[in-house]
A and B are shown apart, each in its own frame.
Chain A
Amino acid sequence: MTDGSHGLSARINEVREQAIEELKSVSDGETLRDWERKWIGPKGEITSMLRSLGSLAKEDRPAAGRDAQALRSKLEAAFTPVQELIERQQMERRLAEESIDVTLPGRRPDIGAAHPISAMIDELIEIFAHLGFQAVFGPEVETGRYNFDLLNIPADHPARDVWDTIIIDDPAAEIVMRTHTSPMQARTMERLDPPIRVIVPGRSYRYEAQDASHEWMFTQLEGLAVDTNITMTDLKGVLQELARQLFGPERRVRLRCDFFPFVEPGVDFAVDCAICNGKGCRVCKHSGWLEMGGAGMVHPNVLRGVGYDPEKYTGFAFGLGFERLVMMKYGVDDIRAFNGNDLRFLKKFATVTI
């Protein structure tokens, strides 16, 4: 062993003690990084020690190198847990600082809501699409021909009185606000050949004083199926599907004889009340049934009017009101609410998944 190697060995001991001592007082990231830089970093004490090996006698160099490396390992081993501890402490401190009152309200995005009638139209289009019905749309202002004549409602017939009609001021022709979506029956049959399965959602208008259950502007759904073999049982089946999709799989449909000039036989249809299961309650006015609309087999005169041979084709048609449907489903008690643009009303439908 040479003097030089003795000197280095003393230095190693000195460094070890000093470094370990200093490490004990390291308490944060910054002093830890300073310590690392000073002792074990690329420009630190160990590195400079290793560089100085060249000044030693050749035979001393390997042992001194080993000692220096051993010191580095030792210091690194001492460093690692301190580093981990400090990092953990730092993270804990950060998390504590970032802690919030999670009961405070969140940052809300703005979302509006569709109108309940639009939403119901979307829903019925979807239900009927499964049954093979296509949605078609037509004009709200109609000729007397489409609104009445082609629907087997001749001029001067008392049946025409049933529809209190809003008339367009036109000296040249009978032009009216459509009183129902039924004019699209003829328009569709004129445009397409059987088999036909369409629904027609749209606004309709009647000259009617407004109150909680009457509105002069309302929304109807027309349905029409024409083929060589359409029957009344098909009508009942389709209406039953509608009732079940809207009000649940247990629902039943009731047909009752009724009169509409453009169908024969004609019926009205009702669904048994889902709230009381048909036993009778306030919602169904203790009848157990909720009336939905009118329906029947397309009148031969209607088929003939659009050039269909009634001996060859039969069809069914039905009509129902969207307002009534939404009122039934959600207990809305004033039909005028649908046209009032009252956000208090519209916002309530934002919670409904129709």
Chain B
Amino acid sequence: MKVSFRWLQDYVDIDVSPDVFAERMTMAGLEAEKIEHIGDSWDNVFVGLVRGVSQHPDADRLVLADIEAGEHQLTVVTGAPNIAEGQKVALALAGARLIDAYADELKYKTLKPGKIRGVMSEGMACSEKELGLSEEHEGIMILEPDAPVGVPLKDHLGDTVIEFEITPNLVHAFSMVGIAREASAVLDSDLRLPAVADLSNHASDDELVMNDAPGLCRRYIGVVIEGITVEPSPSWLTARLTRAGVRPINNLVDITNYVMLETGQPLHAFDRNLIETGRIVVRRGRVGDQIETLDHRIRDVDESTLLIADGQKTVALAGIMGGVDSEVVDSTTSILLESAHFDMVNVRHTSRRLKLRTDASTRFERGIDPELARSAAQRAVRLILDLCPDARVVAWNDTYPAPVEQRTVAMPFSRIERVLGIPVEADTVLDVLTRLEMQPTIDEENDSLTVHVPTWRSDISIPEDVVEEVARIVGYTELPATLPTGTTPVVERDPLFLLERFIRRTLVSAGLYEGRSYATLSDADVDQWSTTTSISLTGEIPSSNLVRLRNPVNSERPILRPAIVPSLLDDIATNLKHQTQVKLFEVAHVYSGTGEGELPDEPSHLAIVMAGHRHELSRFEAGSGGHDELDFWDVKGVLDTLFDRLRVPATYKPVEHPALHPGRTSQITCAGQALGIVGEAHPRIATGYGIEQRLSVAEIDVTVLMALRPDLDGMQITADQYLPAEQDFSIVVDNDAEAGRVEEILRRGAGPLVTDLVLFDVYQGGNLEPGKKSLTFRVTFTAPDRALTDKELAKNRTRIERALSNELGASLRS
């Protein structure tokens, strides 16, 4: 809400600077989001009186204006079409800094006297744009007739506009008076309420308003005023509206807007002669009801909509916007003024449904004080009577069957200390709560504090609310800092997080960078990556398991990702424009629906993507034939290391996936459970992401990994006492035998003393039979309690040989 510092002082004296004021209000809960100083740059600009205007001798379009401002008397050459004798204008003297109205961007220029078509122009009459007040530059700014001549314009029109953020609880401060009321409590300065007309002097007309929906309309005040003249508002009124960001229209509409800004109560004025049968009916909508609102749109109405109608037709969407059929226009001579209280939830629903938010609806839907309707109506009547000399109240009615009751909060006085942690003196509490108009009483002996909550403070209902009132006015600055005492709860560490952190750290030391990508995917991504064998590795993802967003921020990506890999791919091509090597991973939740009304499963996944050169450019690699491409083996190697460290014995098996290379993709399982997938992207898919290099990926289910990880707690980890024995085994098998299978058999045959097993050579050709290959492993044997003897090792070798020959028909090469 934009608050003019000048206007605010109608209601409260503020003896600190606007900046200090904004700061103190902010500390008390009304955050000043923006402070705009108007007129700070208006040096050498004065209120001037146009003494006379004459034609420029040599230019048809220019005039010479004699302008007086105190001791300054000067002639100004101007082309402004609206200048006339007797006007008050903003007169800029030489040296004034003004906004260049013809520049495309904000630029200041310093005014210098100069000849225009042969006549010396000693100053300038300014437009609003040149003063930074608006974009208006058609003519010069005309000040109100009572503007004091000779006074610096800064003193006359300068102001500070503070934009306060009104949080949902602070509806009582959503007005000038509301802000003033807060200011009066914060600054301990008296509040002055605006002058009103007392409606109770007039006889009430019970026929004027019929409220058929008292559940949705708690109060309805109608006031009929005759003798209205619709005309432009006086300049003080238009100036205040403009400064608050409201466009002036005519005196009637301006008064309703002004009172809304001033009091927080939305008002509406109907042309009384267009209210058929002369009475207002408040009712719910019916099938077939329609209304054309002031924005000239036809609105469909349903039973949930609260309407204002007359004897025949609908005249307003209650609390939101009036209808064109009863609009106040220039010819209007009598009005029906509405000041009502509408149900906040209903206004909110209707406003949402119709996608129509107005100044009125934003106030009603926050829940304003029903008591406000009366004072606001009386204020508006007062202003109408002031501005239209012939106006008179001819009828009025206030239907308010269930007046709001004032709440009382009774609480232990010690609650303040219990919540804040420090005691606050009873006198201070009394003073603060009195400033907030809460009529506090304190009985320290009986540990009691009682307050009577003003009706406008709908946010205060429990003792803690009262504690906050005390704290925010006293301020938190002096609050000491302590640490919680008492028993410190046992800190248990989340095992999944620890595993994720282990993975992150391992992968970082393996040269990968951790990335982070958005949680949503497009339909195309999902189609491409999970049609048959899904990358989420839980088998095919039925489309019902996909979690869809109703309102995705990016409408092209409406699906919560079932896998991470696809969301990293867009960024690879971008990176490859400036990186020779991309090695990224991400650990994050993925989402799998579990049925309507249920939360989805959110397993944790690890994704790895690699593309580009295996080695960063360096003098050590240059000799070895340039740049090898990162490929399947690089990703798999990282996984091998990871699984080794986690002691999870993973098994690899070739698998087909529509997005992956048919010959370079492997499923990863452990103990019969799917753990993940590793492979190179199908070149067609990679190209689709703008990647011409090999693109290698892996996706691992970390939640499954955690379940498979052996419990190592209490495991004895000791340094080996005896030297290990290393033996090489060259195993000759058929070309199509899987190394994984050979390794499995070798490992089994080698027995429990194996501490390390590495396949370090794959050999074909030479003296091998055609169709055979030789796989060479180095196996390290270590016994915890003895040095191994040649005899033992030879026995081992025989056992291995037998196992290989029995199960694979393989032979050992010596």
Contacts and interface: CB of A to CB of B under 8 A. Distances in A.
A139 B703 CA distance: 14
Contacts of A300: 462, 464
B479 interface: yes
A203 B586 CA distance: 14
Contact of B479 (A109, A169, A197, A255): A255
Contact of A171 (B28, B167, B493, B596): B596
Nearest to B553: A216
Contacts of B618: 105, 107-108
A169 B29 contact: no
A299 interface: yes
Interface in A325-351: 338-344, 346-347, 350
B489 A110 contact: no
Given A171-B596, A207-B551, A314-B419, A234 B514 contact: no
Contacts of A234: 421, 482-484
B18 to A, nearest CB: 15
B501 interface: yes
A167 B517 contact: no
Interface in B490-506: 490-494, 496-497, 501, 504-505
Nearest to A287: B23
B706 to A, nearest CB: 13
Interface in B592-611: 596-600, 602
A229 B486 contact: yes
A109 B462 CA distance: 62
Contacts of B170: 259
A156 B348 contact: yes
Contact of A340 (B489, B493, B571): B571
Interface string B328-361: 0000000000000000110011000000000000
B516 interface: yes
A260 B525 CA distance: 38
Interface stretch (A15-23, A54-62, A63-71, A261-269): A261-269
Contacts of A205: 519
Interface stretch (B251-259, B574-582, B655-663): B574-582
A240 to B, nearest CB: 5
Given A231-B420, A300-B464, A341-B516, A114 B584 contact: no
A289 to B, nearest CB: 11
A237 B481 contact: yes
Contact of A104 (B517, B519, B619): B619
B313 interface: no
Contacts of B619: 104-105
Interface in A93-128: 104-105, 107-115, 117-118, 122
A192 B588 CA distance: 26
A132 interface: yes
A347 B127 CA distance: 54
Nearest to B362: A158
Contacts of A162: 167-168
B472 A257 contact: yes
B412 to A, nearest CB: 10
Nearest to A128: B491
Contacts of B492: 134
Contacts of B494: 135-137
A157 B365 CA distance: 8
Interface in A136-191: 136-137, 139-143, 156-159, 161-162, 166-173, 175, 177
> Of residues B492, B507, B550, B619, which shows the largest number of chain A Cβ atoms within 10 Å of its Cβ?
B550
Contacts of B491: 129, 132-134
A38 interface: no
Interface residues of A, number: 95
B421 A232 contact: yes
A255 B599 CA distance: 36
Nearest to B568: A341
Nearest to A234: B484
A85 interface: no
A104 B622 CA distance: 14
Given A141-B547, A341-B568, A241 B168 contact: no
A contact patch SS: mixed
Nearest to A252: B481
Interface string A221-256: 000010111111110111011000000000001111
Interface string A192-217: 10011100000101011110000011
Contact of A230 (B468, B484, B504): B484
Contacts of B574: 342
B602 A118 contact: no
Interface in B617-676: 618-620
Interface in B351-389: 365-367
A172 B501 contact: no
A308 to B, nearest CB: 14
> Of residues A104, A141, A159, A210, which shows the largest number of chain B Cβ atoms within 10 Å of its Cβ?
A141
B154 interface: no
A197 B484 contact: yes
A105 B618 CA distance: 8
A342 B575 contact: yes
B31 interface: yes
> Of residues A110, A136, A217, A230, which shows the largest number of chain B Cβ atoms within 10 Å of its Cβ?
A110
A345 to B, nearest CB: 10
Contacts of B365: 158
A320 B225 CA distance: 54
Contacts of A258: 29, 31, 167
Contacts of A265: 419-420, 464, 467-468, 471-472
A112 B511 contact: yes
Nearest to B492: A134
A133 B582 CA distance: 37
Given A253-B481, A265-B467, A314-B418, A228 B168 contact: no
B515 A259 contact: no
A110 B510 contact: yes
A341 B584 contact: yes
Given A143-B599, A257-B29, A231 B421 contact: yes
B421 A112 contact: no
A227 B486 contact: yes
A18 B107 CA distance: 105
B509 A158 contact: no
Contacts of A254: 476-477
Contacts of A264: 462, 464-465, 467-468
B636 to A, nearest CB: 16
Contact of B560 (A141, A173, A195, A314): A141
9 contacts: A114-B508, A156-B345, A170-B596, A231-B482, A237-B480, A238-B484, A253-B481, A255-B479, A265-B467
The 6 A-B pairs with the shortest beta carbon distances in the complex, nearest first, are A231-B421, A110-B511, A233-B421, A172-B597, A257-B29, A265-B468
